[in-house]
A and B are shown apart, each in its own frame.
Chain A
Amino acid sequence: MGSYIPSTLKQQEEMLKEAGFSSLDDLYRDVPEDLKLRNALDLPEGLSELETAKRLRRLAAENKVYDSVFRGAGAYKHYIPAIVKSVVSKEEFVTAYTPYQAEISQGVLQSIFEYQTMICELTGMDVANASVYDGAVAAAEAISMCRSPKKKKVFVSGAVHPDTLKVIRTYCWAAGEEVCVLPVRDGKTDLSGLDNEGTCLYVQQPNYYGVIEDLKAISETAHGEGLTVIAGVEPFAMCLLETPAECGVDIAVGEGQPLGMPLSFGGPYLGFMAATAKLMRKLPGRIVGETEDAEGRRAFVLTLQAREQHIRREKASSNICSNEALCALTASVYLAAMGPEGMKEAALQCYSKAHYLAEGLEKAGLRRRYEADFFNEFVTDCDDPEALLAKLDEKGILGGLPVDNGILWCATEINSKEEMDALIREVAA
């Protein structure tokens, strides 16, 4: 049994005596007897480190790790440079709390400031926050930013990730807002149902089916109805396609997992949020700003805290406190290692490889479902997705995700031509 308690039994007795207690039980003299557990917890006996390590290794081995992955659908496998893991394993970053004491937290504060800058660069937006839990929550929080006492309707594209839609529905239900889901036509969001009675529109770029939406036209139409435009964007696509800012978007959010975070069965991931300067004071959560100390030295601090729960309590812009700081650091190190040319190259490779794969699969008999151009994901028809995926599984290939009698495929820079050719051969066979 381990407990990481450094005090020896002798020391514990000394401390008890010194502080005026007769025993460890005596420390709980304020707890009513009938509330105290009479029997030991129904847990197994504690293990030594050696036994624990073995148990965890055995559990990890019960999960399948695929040689090639062609599935995205909200979680993307990219190559993670070695420097990323090395930096984010530094104990100072790993074990610090939220940087409340700026004088001894400049490192973590500066890293967040740099992260905010990079998110602004990716999206073209004016300001970014220090992160939220994931892309789906970022979408829901962005919708909360638009809340109005008069209007209670929120428009959401039907071509967003189903988990994101679920989270939006849950948050809006709690806040008493109605979610109006727009239909999808030919793989793209159909805006004909928009009206001026809502607060905002949430769309995803590229959308759940991988299709590149006409984001500029969408923004214009939605602005025409007086709606705030929120786009859930994919970070690599942002390096290749027109930015949310260029498209006139008001709030850009997204899932930052592709920026250096492994798949990890769904988390920890990273929700990024960026907005126009006008919406700065409505952003939820931590924001780091630059200032100086009394001697004029550059200093970074948590700022605009009048928005936050510990000051404003029930009037805060959000309840968020802990966010995903270490994941934001991961994204920063990843972006620094890739650099502008590396990111553009990776984005171009994602796009090119997905198109190569789509062509190959088409020749192998899987017809692409939508004509519209796509980024690194696309849907094909498939008569029996389960059978095909099971066949691929046997070869160590994780195929795409079954969706609406078809398959949603994904390719990134990590998938080599050789791997894709092998997949195409299996599909054709």
Chain B
Amino acid sequence: MKTLFERSVAGRHCSILPACDVPLKTPDHVRTAPLRLPELSETDISRHYTELAKQTFGVNDGFYPLGSCTMKYNPKINEEAASLAGFTEVHPSQDHVQGCLEVLATAEKYLCEITGMNAMTFQPAAGAHGELTGLMLIKRYHELRGDSARNKIIVPDSAHGTNPASSAMCGFTVVNIPSAEDGCVDLDKLREACGEDTAGLMLTNPNTLGIFDKHIREITDIVHEAGGLCYYDGANLNAVMGIARPGDMGFDCIHLNLHKSFSTPHGGGGPGSGPVGCKSFLEAYLPGEKIVFADGRYQLAERGEESIGAVRSFHGNFLVVVKAFTYLLTLGREGVPKVAQNAVLNANYLKHLLEGTYEVTNKGVCMHEFVLTLEREKKETGVSAMDIAKALQDYGMHPPTMYFPLNVHEALMVEPTETESKETLDAAAAAFLDIYEKAKADPEAMHHTPLHSPIGRPDEVKAARHPVLRYHFDD
């Protein structure tokens, strides 16, 4: 469809501002370059974005089992709370913000209780940002102990790509360790990798295959004995919140994805919020200001000189925290474990419906997600994980995560979440099975799916070889 720029008509405009009520002035050295923003009426704008919205699939459009992303329903009350003028019209450096500070302080308390941590910062704006922050805490810890040789972070091969990337940004060398046969951490390989240069380990539990690593205490002990710290990637917390806590598993610091486990929306790729929690011995290193309650009121206080400083301006993505806090108030102590249990139930139920037909990597019980492999089908018929994913679009659902984790060939990672009903799961299973039959009967046809979306598969090679990254005007 047309871009905003192709809809533009010279001289057309909305009327937003009044005439200036003070004498107009201009600086020296004014801009001479043209400013080619679109010229549109409000009708044009409204229709343009309505059309774009129709070509965007959100959680509200249908089942969205995108593995590792926890695409649960985003409650409307959260949005309403975050749009209250008492939150949106508050300057980040003004006084009289008891409400804002109470939200942050209480959310910190609740999330620390859920994760088994002692303190938390809300400055990180997304999961990867949280990882970087957590690794900085680990770096600071070793640095202040004068343990400067510890420059390696151990990352299993099933980890999210952000784990090694965050480690590198933090100046660490990444040691990748292969997973054991069952997809869990290979304890021998871990022992071999640990040493005097180990700064820490990054792990998610349950892991990206949807398996709870039973040896988790042993794993964190091995790392601790070697002098390293353990970082918990909270991407998969939805499976265990209210059931087991990263703090009790031996993790020293964690990040959470409020836009995954705590129901705040993803916005097509953000804003998220990636708060970082830690045990007491790391608290002094946290970035940003801390909130203290003294003399009957909440106050912002500087952290000491040991703090890593700041990873973002002000207090992070505050309104996202408001949404997650609203969700926590709604769930309460019984709701949190119910969420986890039903997320795991839904995953196991859907896995059960598919495993007679598709090959599931995890033969036993899974946690909140499971991984299918199309390796055999790809070899025998040429039908790939991508083909199955694209075909699913024609059934009104969003495909699972493709080609992840990297240690599974032709992977499709399925995470239904707890906010989907049995009927939705039954219908999704029927779609998966129907596609499998079709793929057997006519493998070639699968390469041309989807058939009913606004466009067919885009030419990604062309996009990368001849990058067109902005609209080019004719002049």
Contacts and interface: CB of A to CB of B under 8 A. Distances in A.
Interface in A122-156: 122, 124, 126-128, 130-131, 133-137, 144
Contacts of A428: none
B91 A337 contact: no
Contacts of A43: 110, 113-114, 328, 331-333, 336
B96 interface: yes
Contacts of A91: 53, 58, 60
Contacts of A75: 91-93, 314
A219 interface: no
A301 B217 CA distance: 43
Contacts of A59: 86, 99, 102-103
Contacts of B55: 104-107, 110
Given A46-B334, A164-B313, A280-B467, A337 B419 contact: no
Contacts of B3: 110, 113-114, 117
B342 A295 contact: no
Interface in B75-90: 75, 77, 79-81, 84-90
B216 to A, nearest CB: 7
Interface in A1-55: 1-7, 11-12, 14-16, 18-21, 24, 27-32, 35-37, 40-47, 49, 52-53, 55
Given A170-B310, A336-B38, 14 more contacts: A5-B419, A24-B341, A94-B58, A95-B265, A100-B402, A101-B390, A117-B5, A290-B468, A294-B459, A318-B165, A321-B128, A325-B270, A337-B40, A338-B14
5 contacts: A30-B365, A41-B336, A104-B453, A267-B315, A340-B35
Contacts of A383: none
A65 to B, nearest CB: 5
Given A131-B270, A295-B456, A352 B22 contact: yes
A71 interface: yes
A127 B472 CA distance: 12
Contacts of A413: 17, 20
A329 B56 CA distance: 13
Contacts of A238: 31
Interface stretch (B41-49, B190-198, B275-283, B371-379): B41-49
- Of B242, B322, B460, the most chain A CB neighbours within 10 A belong to B460
Contact of B57 (A41, A105, A170): A105
B167 A246 contact: no
Interface residues of A, number: 204
B341 A49 contact: no
Interface stretch (A188-196, A222-230, A304-312): A304-312
Interface string B126-151: 11110110011001000000000000
B441 interface: no
Contacts of A29: 365
Contact of B94 (A66, A137, A173): A66
A185 B197 CA distance: 45
Nearest to A357: B22
Contacts of A74: 92-93, 313-314
A298 B456 CA distance: 10
Interface in A187-235: 212
B326 interface: yes
Nearest to B242: A41
A241 interface: yes
A218 B22 CA distance: 32
Interface residues of B, number: 193
Interface string B434-454: 000000000000000010011
Contacts of A62: 86, 98-99, 102
B340 to A, nearest CB: 9
Contact of A53 (B16, B80, B93): B80
Contact of A267 (B12, B132, B271): B271
Nearest to A93: B268
Given A131-B270, A329-B268, A166 B309 contact: yes
Nearest to A91: B60
A263 interface: yes
B414 interface: no
Nearest to B122: A267
Contact of A301 (B59, B161, B463): B463
A55 B329 contact: yes
A125 B363 CA distance: 53
A11 B346 CA distance: 11
A103 B52 contact: no
Interface in B151-186: 160-162, 164-171, 174
Nearest to B462: A291
Nearest to A399: B94
Contact of B271 (A108, A268, A294, A309): A268
A365 interface: no
